[in-house]
Amino acid sequence: MTPTTFETEQTYGLRKSLSRAIPYILLTISILPIIIGYAWIFIATFSVRTEGLIPKDAHGNIGGLTLQNWSFLHNPEVWNATLNSFGIAVGMVVGVGFLSSLTGYALARMNFAGRKGFLGTTLLLHAFRPEMLLIAIFQVLLFIGGIPLIGDWVGFNTVGGVALVMITLDLPLGVWLMKGFFDNLSWDMERAALIDGASRFRVWWEIILPQIKPGLAALSIFTFITGWNAYLIPFTFTIGSKVANLPVLLNRFSGDTSLGSWNEVAALGLFQLVPILVFFIFTQEALLNIYGGGSKGGA
Amino acid sequence: MSFTKSPEDNNPVKIPGQTVNFIIAIVGGLLGIVAFFLPWIGFSSGGGLLGSLSGLKIGAGPVVALSKGAVIFRGTPTSYLVPIAGMVTLLVVFLAYRRKIIVEKDGFWLIALGALPLLVLLGQFGEAQRDAAKVGVDIHYLSGLIATFLALLLIILSGTLTTAALARQKPSFRNTLGAYGFMSPTSLLVIIFFLIPVVLLFILSLTNLSSANFGDPWTFIGLGNYRRMFSDKFFPKILRNTVFYVVMTLAFFNVGLALALALLTSHINRRSSFFFRLIWLLPRITPSVVYIVMWKRFTQVPPYGIINQFLGWAGIQHQPYWLNETPWLFVILVNGFVGASFGMIIFTSAIEAIPKDFIIAAKVDGASSWQIIKDITLPLLRWPLLFVTTYQTLSLLVSFEYILLLTEGGPGLFTTEVWSLTAYKRALFTYFGSNQWAYGAAWGFVLVVIGAILSFIYLRVFRFDDLVQEPKIDVL
């Protein structure tokens, strides 16, 4: 490309590379708080104490790297919370994946009375934010908790109840995503199978589901992260440490811990971050797609 | 309820086994009615236990409580639900017989008639046992309860049999039934945890329910909670906070910074732009509690705080606890860093969708980067901009998780308290010794109405109904 101004080649080149550099500089500045936040978590986890970002040992000198902050791994309460977190996350992956691919299939491929109404409701709920409903869901869960047998599993103050509420609140998104995947699927195989006399359920299970594995995987990553990170709903619908999940435990722990020993808080935080970072490193492309196109209200 | 029309719908068929199904329904219906009167003829009913204390507790028959020798009768809403179900069941069967045909509706009606009271009854069961234990009321409830359960189960059974028989007979109905099978688990959950809570939230907001009078019958006080809300001393402050929070976060982060990030990343090479966008996604996928721990650490007093450490290096002596010093700054920063990524991703894909010809043509004409952005990119981003703005307005208005974790509405009185947080705290935190569910519900319901209206409008504006296309596979 030839210069259009009367500058010399050299100054033009300089100016151009400078203007090329500006976006990089601005973007690097913008991500600094995120980087620093994460840096603190890592530094604090492995040091006796931190002042700002600087690790210090007991005498106030720089250094003092240690693994003692991980002693919480001996605490059964932490493992119980981990199990609860994992239960909620896996419950969400299975529940949302299964239910929304069932419903998404019906909406994409079947013609039945009330289909338009179901689709409209899905869309409306998809745009709607359910946080305020927690007040009423509280009463619903209390009610369910009174039912014999069922109540012990999915009532108020149970992991099952928390998972069920979280599954339901994510269903409109899941159904909408799944319907999109089914819509883009060729239907020749399915049609052939139906003509050969296979039932709808068998077609769905044996022919359709294997074809949308990538979509299901993306939805699973999204729901796992949602379930693993969940704070508000577990916090609202559980009491006591038996049913607390990791975020609830961490929040209580950070409130009880003096500022000087927040290194243990950081360690527990990093412990909770592990699965998230694994997803972050290995499924980057999928993550950006999910939170852009697939996220709530994504056009 | 109307189903997919097909020719054979006009030629009703006589279903084999129909009579048996209906006999089962008739027995169930009669039993349902009898169960209601059991208490009067010497048997105690489920309702006696169920309603022992609270008038609104729901039972099978009218409440019969033997308390210190005295017999108390008290009717409850669902105590009437069971006999009504019984009577309607008989009516359905009678009509179906008169018509000499059987239609889809009959089966569904019967199932619903049995299932609804059964669901309510089950819900009250455990609570009633606790109530009875609490007051030491001695009731033998089994006879009534068994009769009621049996009645409802029979009605459901008959409906299921009728529906199944019909499905065997008619292919078009089988298809519809199959689709409902696929839809029903999701629908059930959505009804229990979405639709019922919306209605319940409104009903709650008209009562005076709190943890102080929990267990008593609900007392309806009309619009009292709403009047109390609007005359609250802090109402103007909370309203101002909400508007301030939404507008500032939107303008500076969720739309402003998001747009800036999208424009900047689209002007650098692909690999690094991917990297920057990925880093910006981190706050969104970081567990909220861990994310808040990081931010609290930023703002701490010396020697712990990271900001203060930087200030120290810069030689600035003013090193307060920044979260208390400038709470709003951090509330907006914390939410903004999470919110910006959504707009960034949407805008980036919109910018990438702009035909390259436009940009090349402009460059050939000698336009600068800024001119290209101003005259080509931004006008073409009009719809994504509107989309992100409306969508994020809605979510900022209703979500409060990060504020709850960061400041809990403080420091001090209502400094960073927004509308949604007020609703949540009033209902589910202990205020003046009690959870004021009803009052919180009033605050919350206003937001639900606003949210429903906004999401409806925005579906209309963005023509989401166009997406509701016909299914590819019809009936073969």
Domains for chain B: give ranges and CATH numbers. Answer: 7-169 (1.20.140), 235-416 (1.10.3720.10)
Interchain contact, A251 vs B342, CB within 8 Å: no
- Using pLDDT thresholds of 50, 70 and 90, give the confidence band for residue A10: low
Domain residue limits, chain A = 9-66, 76-255+268-294
Q: Are B382 and B462 in contact (CB under 8 A)?
A: no
B141: contact with A, CB 8 A cutoff: no
pLDDT of residue B434: 67
- Using pLDDT thresholds of 50, 70 and 90, give the confidence band for residue B52: very low
What letter represents residue B271's amino acid?
Answer: R
Query: What's phi and psi for A161, nearest 5 deg?
Result: -60, -45
Preceding amide of B185 cis, omega within 30:
no
Query: What's phi and psi for B353, nearest 5 deg?
Result: -80, -10
Interchain contact, B297 vs A40, CB within 8 Å: yes
Q: Which residues contact B89 (CB under 8 A, 6 or more apart)?
A: B25, B26, B28, B29, B32, B110, B113, B114, B155, B158
Q: What Å distances lie between residue A185 and A105, A179, A191, B89, CA to CA?
A: 11, 10, 12, 44
Interchain contact, A147 vs B123, CB within 8 Å: yes
DSSP string covering B355-397: -HHHHHHHHHTT--HHHHIIIIIHHHTHHHHHHHHHHHHHHHH
Q: What is the pLDDT of chain A when averaged over all its residues? A: 83
| Distance between CA atoms of residues A236 and A186, nearest Å | 44
Show which of residues 240-279 on chain B sit within 8 Å of chain A, judged by CB atoms. 257, 260-261, 264-265, 267-268, 272, 274, 276-279
Please give the radius of gyration of chain B, using alpha carbons only, rounded to the nearest integer.
31
A62-66, A99-103, A257-261, B34-38: segment of lowest average pLDDT? B34-38
Interface contacts (A, B; CB < 8 Å): 346
| Distance between CA atoms of residues B383 and B388, nearest Å | 9
Tell me the pLDDT tens digit for each residue of B245-270: 999 999 999 999 999 999 888 888 88
A138: contact with B, CB 8 A cutoff: yes
Surface-to-core class of residue B195, CB atoms within 10 Å of its CB (0-12 exposed, 13-18 middle, 19+ buried): middle
Distance from first CA to last CA of chain B, Å, rounded? 23
More confident residue, A168 or B467: A168
Question: Which two tokens mark A7?
Answer: 């500058």
More confident residue, B376 or B7: B376
Which ranges in chain A belong to alpha helices (H)?
9-45, 76-109, 115-127, 134-145, 150-154, 159-183, 188-195, 200-202, 209-211, 213-229, 232-237, 246-256, 262-282, 284-289
Question: How far B20 CA lies from chain A's nearest CA (Å)?
Answer: 28
pLDDT of residue B432: 59
pLDDT of residue B258: 92
Q: Are B185 and A102 in contact (CB under 8 A)?
A: yes
pLDDT of residue B217: 63
Query: What's phi and psi for A208, nearest 5 deg?
Result: -80, -50
Residue linked to tokens 């009047």: B227
Q: Which residues contact A156 (CB under 8 A, 6 or more apart)?
A: A138, A141, A142, A144, A145, A237
Query: What's phi and psi for A112, nearest 5 deg?
Result: -150, 165
Q: Are B255 and B392 in contact (CB under 8 A)?
A: yes
Cβ-Cβ contacts under 8 Å, A191 against chain B: 473, 476
B1: contact with A, CB 8 A cutoff: yes
| Distance between CA atoms of residues B19 and A250, nearest Å | 62
Degrees, nearest 5: CA angle A160-A240-B426: 90
> Of B278, B425, B118, B374, whose CA–CA distance to A38 is shortest?
B278
A209: contact with B, CB 8 A cutoff: no
Q: Are B145 and B60 in contact (CB under 8 A)?
A: yes
Cβ-Cβ contacts under 8 Å, A192 against chain B: none
Question: How far B460 CA lies from chain A's nearest CA (Å)?
Answer: 10
| Distance between CA atoms of residues B188 and A102, nearest Å | 13
DSSP B72: E
A47-51, A267-271, B285-289, B461-465: segment of lowest average pLDDT? B461-465
Interchain contact, A272 vs B290, CB within 8 Å: yes
Residue ranges with strand state E in B12-156: 63-67, 70-74
Nearest residue of chain B to residue A1 (CA atoms): B364
| Distance between CA atoms of residues A245 and B405, nearest Å | 16
Q: Are A181 and A212 in contact (CB under 8 A)?
A: yes
Q: Which residues contact A92 (CB under 8 A, 6 or more apart)?
A: A163, A166, A167, A170, A223, A224, A226, A227
* Mean pLDDT value across residues B209-233: 80
> Of B139, B33, B21, B29, whose CA–CA distance to B80 is shortest?
B33
| Distance between CA atoms of residues B302 and A197, nearest Å | 74
Q: Are B410 and B416 in contact (CB under 8 A)?
A: yes
Show which of residues 21-60 on chain A sit within 8 Å of chain B, judged by CB atoms. 23-24, 26-27, 30-31, 33-38, 40-41, 44, 50-54
Which of A288-297, B123-132, B171-180, B390-399 has the largest mean confidence? B390-399
Interchain contact, A288 vs B187, CB within 8 Å: no
Residue linked to tokens 């709920």: A125
> Of A138, A145, A132, whose CA–CA distance to B209 is shortest?
A138
Nearest residue of chain B to residue A257 (CA atoms): B293
ipTM of this predicted structure = 0.87
| Fold assignment, A76-255+268-294 | MetI-like fold (1.10.3720)
CA dihedral A134→A138→A144→A146, nearest 10 degrees, is 180
| Distance between CA atoms of residues A160 and A141, nearest Å | 11
Tell me the pLDDT tens digit for each residue of B290-331: 999 889 888 888 778 888 888 888 888 888 888 888 889 999
Question: How far B427 CA lies from chain A's nearest CA (Å)?
Answer: 6
* Mean pLDDT value across residues A279-288: 82
Q: Are A272 and A246 in contact (CB under 8 A)?
A: yes
pLDDT of residue B103: 61
Q: Which of B126, B190, B401 comes nearest A231 by C-beta?
A: B401
Q: Are A146 and B123 in contact (CB under 8 A)?
A: yes
A98-102, A152-156, B98-102, B114-118: segment of lowest average pLDDT? B98-102
| Distance between CA atoms of residues B323 and B407, nearest Å | 8
Tell me the pLDDT tens digit for each residue of A204-253: 898 888 888 888 888 898 899 999 999 999 998 888 778 888 899 888 88
Q: Are B364 and B277 in contact (CB under 8 A)?
A: no
| Distance between CA atoms of residues B298 and B5, nearest Å | 65
